[in-house]
Structure 1
Amino acid sequence: MKRPQGPPGTPQSRPQHSSQAAPQPAKPQPPTRAQKGTSARPSRAERKQNKADLKKQKESSAASQSRSSTRPPSPAATASTGSRVQGTLRPVGAPARSKSNSAQLDTSASRTTKAARKLTASQQEALEARRKLKEAVKARKAFERDEVRRFTAHLRRRRIVWASIAGSFVAILIFVAVGMFTPILALQNIVVEGATRVPADQIIASLQPELNKPLPLVDMGAVRKAVEAQPLVKSYSTVAVPPHTLVVKVVERAPVGYLPSPNGFIMVDPAGVVIEETPERVPGLPLFTVEGDSARSKGFAAAIDVINSLPAGLAGQLDEVIANTTDDVTLILTGGARVFWGGPENAAMKNRVLSQLLTLNPVGSVSEYDVSSPKTAVVR
């Protein structure tokens, strides 16, 4: 059997031995790269196949890099990838590549891996830049909201103030309307406080027409008229106690002494108003002996001024006050001693001198104390 002859100019290959029992006539095979020589260029189909394999390798490397983040591939994975790449580069039935081609493929694979790594790093930088941009936008929006809130704070406070004023005004209107047009605040009880000599029943009886009226609509003029009808009332005040009570607080006139009268004595206050008339004097209040026995005389006014300037302890010891003129006031104490006071001027000095005289010369040891000239006081 003749050996197959190759194309002219190429070395003849050795016959291949088959392990089969009955060798089959082999089909003519295309010349391998080894037969053509190591310096021969690959065919167009091989170049296309190599480009497709490199493209698949780049895609698989980029996908593996994106899944494993920035962790570099392990040597074992690189080796297995390289073996798979080498396995996929050679088609079925193709002759084995030479060492130079394998080195070229390994270099291309390493370059592809580095490019994939660089691409992944750039993607990470882009992601980091986008994240920082989002944070900056969020911070800017928060800053703008804070600035708007700060610059509009006075407007919010103004709205709150106006809302409070409006709410208070509406509440007052509602309260007034309820009090004036409903029986919720109707007057049902009248209480008079501070009345000792003043007949409280007469004041309450005078205010009966005001019952069942709303408290805001009670006629204060009628209340004043009912209270001023009592001569012993010096002053008064009213307090409305919701829902149904009106309190009238009166201040009675305080008696200061007696004036003689045809039927006995009349009790008067410092203003000369008659409080009551009695046949006898009550101990503790002095008798005024003035010109005309009238509270309208000038002597009575001078005597009141002297009494108001006396200490409380000394005023309680008075039995009679004689004031014929404004400059001649004489005090008679309960023990019978006389104090020649003179006029109401220099009252503070006269009180100090009289207190010293009473301490040095108690009542009963002397009969007269003359302090009309306090710098030259005399006792007799």
Structure 2
Amino acid sequence: MMDNVAELLILTLVIITALAFDFTNGFHDTGNAMATSIATGALKPRTAVALSAVLNLVGAFLSVAVAATVAKGIVNLDGVSGDALLTIVFAGLVGGILWNVFTWLLGLPSSSSHALFGGLIGAALIALGTSGVVWGGVVAKILLPALLAPVVAGLVAAVGTWVVHRIVRGVPEKAQERGFRWGQVGSASLVSLAHGTNDAQKTMGVIFLALVAHGTVTADDHIPFWVIAACAVAIALGTYLGGWRVIRTLGKGLVEISSPQGMAAETSSAAIILTSSSLGLPLSTTHVATGSILGSGVGRPGAEVRWGVAGRMGVAWLITLPASGLVGAACWFLAHAVGGATGILVVFALLVAGCFAMWRRSRKEPVNPDNVNDEWDGGQPSLGDAVDEAMAVVTSIEAPARPDARPEAASPAVPAAV
């Protein structure tokens, strides 16, 4: 058994890492609410992310149903010692963060929720075997919503867009744009509020798991208020940072979107996310938002839908759970092999190094509020590009002191479009 000081150190690192995940969730998912409003000009980019941050903060206080699902419905707590559970939670968080930052680097709107769950499942499997995962909860509360959410969101948005265009077909296009931009502000705000009620809760659940492992609370206790407040602030700060690379892909890469489409997409997203939050389902807001945007393109006569971009995003969705699971399993193995607080510190150092390396590479082709609405040039990384990018990042972690040792031809720059 770890001594008290070491155990407290590990608990502190787990909580810090959980809040870091919440922060990445914020900037990775900003586009779910605000990409279409930014693309149509309904909101200026910086105004959009500031508004979204405030509403995410408020939404995080409205419900804890999803947090309870994460805390009690994914990892089997029966017979797991506090030391083992802390390491599992930590390794799962590292897997989720690294996948979030990597897909942000590529401008791919993958699911932060699935990155977190994949990391936790991978760490639990290698640590405890198949009995360490609540498989019924995984199927009912992760896999089925993942399959149904984008389809339902797309159908609702397609019907909504078609109805809207039928109603206003005699109205001049410029007048439509002016009127629906105000509607977009309201619908985008509702998505941001809904995002706070769903995604911030996931980190609350993870921190609650860590507190249970440490013995600070029991599995039947309520989530402490300080956990709710800390997670609300973390996701709001991440949202305010703005995940411009992902915002660009959602706003310009899938569909050339108009204000009526944007309002229909956002309204359908908000309705589905709020419904799932009330039922305690940890839904992927990325899947919902993407399905809604695609549906709005299908529902608008003559709209261009870039199915190639959508297909590459679909591949990223499919590999999110296994990829983050492998990282979570590897992190647990390394932390366990080194042992104790030292093992946790080693993995934490690798996490910091990996995130820094990916941030540094993103500076080669920055996407920011000034160029997020530039015309889409077709640039979108393929799976091969993603592998090349991952290898380049690993190389930069192994040899940070020799940036000149990486010739430009060895790894293609991330396209400006992401």
The interval holding the TM-score normalised by the smaller chain is under 0.3
Larger Rg, first or second structure (1 or 2): 1
Q: Could you state the TM-score of these two structures normalised by the residue count of structure 2?
A: 0.17
Higher strand residue share: 1
User: Greater relative contact order (Cα 8 A, min sep 6): structure 1 or 2?
Assistant: 2
Q: Normalization by structure 1: what TM-score?
A: 0.18
